[in-house]
Amino acid sequence: MSRDAIVRILLTVTLFASAVNVWAGVSIDMVPVDNSGNVADGTGYGAVGYSYQIGKYEVTAAQYAAFLNAVAATDPYGLYSTSMWTALSGCKIQRSGESGSYTYSVASDYSNRPVNCVSWYDALRFVNWLQNGQGNGSTEQGTYTITGTGPDWTVGIPSAAVRATWTAGNGHWVLPSENEWYKAAYHKNDGPTGNYWDYPTGVDAPSTPGHDMTETTNPGNNANYWGTSIPLDSPYYTTNRGEFQLSDSAYGTYDQGGNVWEWNQTRIALRGGSFVYPSAALLATARGGYGTGGPLVPEFETPDVGFRVAFVPESIPGDTNRDGKVDDDDAKTLAAHWGQTGGWAQGDFNNDTVINTLDTAILAAHWGHGVTVEQGNPSTAVPEPTVLAMLACLVLVVGGRRARGENVLRARP
């Protein structure tokens, strides 16, 4: 079968399958961070020798509640903090039931606000859960090996050198290293340079971010930190993810300045400031332990501390499940979420929050990447017979839409 025929089938099946839903896990919106080999700035931070992805937003209360419901029916590792519910500025995740049958829910108006009251260990275990496919995946093994007895567990951490050896077919969810976090927040995204902003909102001192939630200018240069109006989004102390829609970093992340401090792999340092700290805490130079500069204990939990995740290396466009191949599984996933909103794991490869013909074209352009075939070019790999049969049936059902798919193909550069 020719490549064009495969592409036409892929385009057609995605137009058909909008009503199908076969994936119900936590979706993490990611942005790519390229310019590998960039230089550190004067602080000594920011140099990363490989491409990677980082969370566009902080991990939300809804995402963390899904994690708790999957793995914390008994909660032997203390993944839930009662302060999440009882603290005035907590993220309003509530636990119900008895040990062995705990369930967790989040107040609807807090779903898209960042999780808080989480420790460094909680963040690592969330990452391991992602790495192990979610569901009932292990929290103690994965990217990080966690052993011993709490609260002072022993953690095996992959070094930068180890991270650089990971390939697209062997990628890992991670808590970002301090350099990965720093680069995504402050680097100017202008090649492998040593050029950095003072603030994640893309400005240098003496300018400081404002508090304007209406974002009437571009760049917006606004953030949620301690100022004249507290809480900024009254009665909420944290803001919804992406609230400052024009104040993203040069790589497209939100709230790396303000909202909540964020854990990174270097457990002795929080980054980014929070809603109870002034604008100076958002500066690139504001590094250290909580409050006075340390020491910071990894079991520390407070309403103004959360985290975001990263994935190393950067994934192949079209590879929804990040297994290093663009194949039948990815086509099925994209088809199942056609027309819906979602992230990378649902098929949104261009980060415009909707799965549509643009994403189909991206998948088609990378079809067969990483797929081993017996003779020659991987790009000539074809779907397995059962998938071909399914796709062929769908082509017959939606034959009237086929021309629409072909127009998309011709529009590709």
Q: Which residues pair with 106 in a beta bridge?
A: 93
Non-local CB neighbours of 86 within 8 Å, separated by 6+ positions: none
Mind listing the pLDDT tens digit of every residue in the chain (413 residues)?
A: 555 555 555 555 444 443 333 334 788 999 999 999 999 999 999 999 999 999 999 999 999 999 999 999 999 999 999 999 999 999 999 999 999 999 999 999 999 999 999 999 999 999 999 999 999 899 999 999 999 988 889 999 999 899 888 887 788 999 999 999 999 999 999 999 999 999 999 999 999 999 988 888 888 999 999 986 778 888 999 999 999 999 999 999 999 999 999 999 988 789 999 999 999 999 999 986 654 445 678 998 999 999 999 999 876 778 887 666 788 888 888 888 888 877 777 888 877 778 888 888 888 777 776 554 433 343 345 555 555 454 455 444 444 443 444 333 323 23
Alpha carbon distance 138, 150 (integer Å):
17
Task: Report strand pairing: 305-307 vs 30-33.
Answer: unpaired
- Helix ranges, 347-401 (H): 357-365, 385-397
Q: Closest Cα partner for 109 from 200, 16, 233?
A: 233
- What CATH number is given for 35-70+110-313 in this structure? 3.90.1580.10
Q: Residue 235, SS3?
A: coil
**Distances from the Cα of 300 to the Cα of 81, 129, 152, 394, angstroms:** 11, 21, 11, 53
Half-sphere CA count of 115, side-chain side, radius 13 A = 29
Alpha carbon distance 25, 18 (integer Å):
18
Non-local CB neighbours of 342 within 8 Å, separated by 6+ positions: 27, 348, 353, 354, 355
Residue 401 is predicted with a pLDDT of 43
Q: Residue 310, SS3?
A: strand
Task: Report strand pairing: 261-263 vs 305-307.
Answer: parallel
Q: Tell me the helices (H) and strands (E) count for the chain, helix number first.
A: 10, 11
Ramachandran class of 275: left when φ > 0, alpha when ψ lies in -120 to 50, beta otherwise: alpha
Non-local CB neighbours of 393 within 8 Å, separated by 6+ positions: none
Alpha carbon distance 189, 195 (integer Å):
8
Q: Residue 15, SS3?
A: helix
Q: Which residue has the tokens 């088809």?
A: 335
Q: Residue 402, SS3?
A: helix
Cα angle at 107 between 105 and 110, to 5 degrees? 120
Alpha carbon distance 341, 354 (integer Å):
4
Alpha carbon distance 326, 365 (integer Å):
10
Q: How far is CA 4 from the centre of its chain?
A: 33
Q: Which residues pair with 271 in a beta bridge?
A: 262
Which 3-state string (H, E, C) describes 57-123?
CCCEHHHHHHHHHHHCCCCCCCCCCCHHHHCCCCCCEEEECCCCCCEEEECHHHCCCECCCCCHHHH
> Are 186 and 48 in contact, with CB atoms under 8 Å apart?
no
Domain ranges of the chain: 3-25+319-411, 35-70+110-313
Ramachandran class of 135: left when φ > 0, alpha when ψ lies in -120 to 50, beta otherwise: left
**Which tokens in the block code for residue 80?**
């839930």
Q: Which residues pair with 95 in a beta bridge?
A: 104
Q: Residue 183, SS3?
A: helix
Tell the burial category of 251 from Cβ atoms under 10 Å away from its Cβ (0-12, 13-18, 19+): buried
Q: Closest Cα partner for 224 from 89, 84, 122, 83?
A: 89
Residue 295 is predicted with a pLDDT of 64
Global pTM reads: 0.78
